[in-house]
Chain A
Amino acid sequence: QSIRNHNSNAPVDFTAGSLELQDRADRVVLAGGVTVTQAGLVLKSSRLTAAYSSNGGGTDVERLDATGGVTITKDDLRATSNAAIYDLNSSLITLIGNVNLVQGSNKLNGGRLVIDLNSGRSTINGGGPAGTSTSGGRVSGTFTVPPRKN
């Protein structure tokens, strides 16, 4: 049930209320209830900006910036926050602002959540940049104790 070995290179498909192509900036801006899916990972938000590189003809999406009621779900993991950044190259999803992570019966909330799709490690803190708790915000939540034979 872990989110390990998620394939960040899988094809990404979008559905949205409106779509605006800003070709020169290699960017697409979607709005009006956006849904992005990639191999079982679903990202929903009210606005999304996708940046892609157009070298070599193909359109590789490099980074997604979602804002407004972001919800990310994969198998039994469900995370919500105000905004999220999915960097496909480093396969890191960073959620910021009022983050709430639910995995099975484990619940965690805090200011900032970084999910590493390769190692399956998710780090949540009070909202400062990773590793520092400058903003003084606290992380809290509960983990279920797996039943044990002893």
Chain B
Amino acid sequence: QAEPAPVEAKAADDQIGFAAAVVEYDSNSEVVTAKGDVVVNRDGYTLRADTVVWNRTSGEVTAEGNIRSVGPEGDVAYGDKIVVTDTLKDGIVENLLVVLADESRLAAKSGARKDGVYSLDYAAYTACKVEGTDGCPKKPSWEVKAVKVVYDPATKRVKYEGARIELFGLPIVPLPFLSHPVDTKAGSGFLVPSVGFSRNNGLEIEQSYYWRIAQNRDLTGAITAFSNAAPLGQVKFRSLEKTGAFEVTAYGTYSNRIDTSGAVIPTGSNVFRGYVEGAGRFQLDPYWSISASGRRASDRTFLRRYDISRDDRLRSTFAAERIDDNSYFSLSGWAVQTLRTGDKQGLAPIALPEIDYRRRLSDPLLGGNIQLQANSLAIGRTAGQDTQRAFGSVKWDLRKITKLGQEVTFTALARGDVYHSDENASTTTAIYRGDSGWQSRAIFAGAMDVKWPFVGKALGGTQIFTPRVQLVAAPSVTNLKIPNEDSRAVDLEDSNLFALNRFPGYDRFEDDYRITYGFDWTLRKTNFTADINIGQSYRLSNRQSIFPDGTGLSDKASDIVGRSEFRFKDIVKLTHRFRLDKDNLAVRRNEIDATIGSRGTYVQAGYLKLNRNIGPTVEDLSDREEIRLAGRVRVARYWSVFGSTIIDLTDTTEDPTTLSDGFDPIRHRLGVAYDDDCLSLSLTWRRDYQPTGDARRGNSFLFRLAFRNLGV
């Protein structure tokens, strides 16, 4: 007859459910003995063993033979012999192994469980897999060994006494008061310290504490102790609000400062030094949003000295923006703290406020669309030229496709500018000054642009060939009388060749009659794509150009600019941007970027050569030559070696002011890293070749260690 016995009888909370091959119940000694794959469960706790003896009077349950006890939180405890009370919660276990809900493991010589809390003696914890993918046992890459470990499944937290971490079996870091959460939710606690050595400050050890204030707010405090510098304090606060988020970070220390001009301030003049940065963005409603980010350092070498960041300029900005389908409004401000040795902070511009409003509407008459723009800008310098500007402009565009498939675009622009400036003499570059007082200007421009894309099969793929011709007409406008604040970084490129005004910004407008021509060619195959474009422009009027020499736009015919990009699967990516001199096709600008390899093993190379020989009248646009290399090679399953270097190849022929002799490494980095499912470890050696102030030249080493679950 069929056996109706259900495998596991669910027991009410004051009852113990039994399931076994044989159950003996001796009613006079009140002893229940179950044998044969016994499963006992009560109140969410289950116990599985070969034999279970339960003395009902004393309430003691003794289990033996490959025991598996599962708690309600999903933690599984294995052991040789377990003696528990009949609540199945509390009891003593010999040779215990607990597999926690997130598959990390706690093993102990002996342990007891009281009200569900495990307290284990001579225990070891690891979050690493102990079985390779092929199923054979694998030694965990790290484990924490401790005299006593307390694990509370309710709070999901593990606390250690007398703990130390063993890495690949070698005891390395004693962690006297280690405690950490076990589940994925972040909990407060000490993070794993990181160790390093730097030429500036000697040996450094950083110990940080993560405090989870609330679900949406946390604070990380860190102290870094140095062997030959005062300790550095750091606090980082982050908060996620309903409509946005912000974070603030501050550093502070007390150490000697060497002025960047090299003159050593007499020692003993330790000053308070620090740096603060913050950023935030709030979307107030579907249209309005405000965002701000600020950075401020106490002196010019603090960031480099403590290796916080390598930036040489600290930008602070705020913006209030309103964006909807056809209008954009922004009120923003910019200020910059320069950390460059040569710069005078007084000359650094502060743009406050910059207002920009654009509105698009469709043109009822001819079917094009119109963009109205109103912009105003006020630039102040504490010790330099102040400039205010306001302009209004109307731009009309009409795009048609002819029967033959030509894309024709007509453009018309009208703009009225008003400027006011004073203390113009303090601007070093003469052509930027403009005349002080009030200036005004009216700009008109018209353009016709024809693109004729052709498509066809080629070389087993699809090719698209798009010749393009553009005619631009702009009557002459006053340019040099207007102060130039934002049209200084002039550089002819394939990206701005067909722009209406090849000057950046608004202060200069290209007033000439010109024709610009070029073509785009693309080949698309399944694994390979090639993109080539090239172009040039020719000035029809013989009016003297206001472009500085060397920008490629100073003569009637412009330099030839273009770009070619080749991509093979996602293994090889090669990009080459160039500008060739119109007369002798000499290379004026050459930028090559190549990335070869897969995600694990790759090489990246970047080459830059600027040979524009722009005259000394324009002090900004100097020539350079540089090579940047970076790579990572996966040497073993988890190990990889990585490195990067920047070498300045500029020599005096290119830039008379340069100090480098044609081969001058700026810095390089070399390191080895180990990453597996529960540990990431990296040792990086970095060498800086150039001293600036108290950020001295030399080597620094950084050892980073991160354990999964241990407060990474």
Contact = CB atoms under 8 A, between A and B. Distances in A.
B25 interface: yes
B27 A123 contact: no
B176 to A, nearest CB: 36
Contacts of B8: 140
B20 A139 contact: yes
B240 interface: no
Contact of A138 (B20, B27, B54): B20
A34 B206 CA distance: 87
B15 A143 contact: yes
Interface in A1-25: 1-4
B18 A123 contact: no
A141 B3 contact: no
Contact of A139 (B5, B11, B26, B86): B5
Contacts of A2: 27-28
A109 B11 contact: no
B359 to A, nearest CB: 78
Contact of B6 (A105, A122, A140): A140
B628 to A, nearest CB: 70
Contacts of A133: 21-22, 36
Given A145-B15, A146-B56, A121 B22 contact: no
Interface residues of A, number: 39
Interface string A135-150: 1011111111110101
A122 B25 contact: yes
Nearest to B13: A145
B9 to A, nearest CB: 5
Contact of B3 (A111, A119, A121, A150): A111
A131 B22 contact: yes
Interface residues of B, number: 35
A142 B18 contact: yes
Contact of B5 (A1, A103, A110): A110
Contacts of B34: 139
B28 A140 contact: no
Chain B interface, >50% SS class: loop
Nearest to B7: A138
Contacts of B4: 98, 109
A105 B6 CA distance: 18
B7 A140 contact: yes
B351 interface: no
B239 to A, nearest CB: 48
A4 B22 CA distance: 21
The interface centre, meaning the residue of B1, B15, B17, B25 with most chain A CB atoms within 10 A of its CB, is B25
A139 B26 CA distance: 16
A141 B9 contact: yes
A148 B8 CA distance: 25
25 contacts: A4-B28, A82-B1, A107-B9, A109-B4, A109-B5, A110-B3, A121-B26, A123-B24, A137-B5, A138-B3, A138-B7, A139-B5, A139-B18, A139-B21, A139-B34, A140-B6, A141-B23, A142-B15, A142-B17, A142-B18, A143-B32, A143-B54, A145-B16, A145-B42, A150-B59
Interface of B: 1, 3-9, 11-12, 14-28, 32, 34, 36, 42, 54, 56-57, 59, 86-87
What are the 9 A-B residue pairs with the smallest beta carbon separation, nearest first? A133-B21, A137-B3, A125-B22, A140-B19, A2-B27, A142-B15, A120-B28, A121-B26, A123-B24
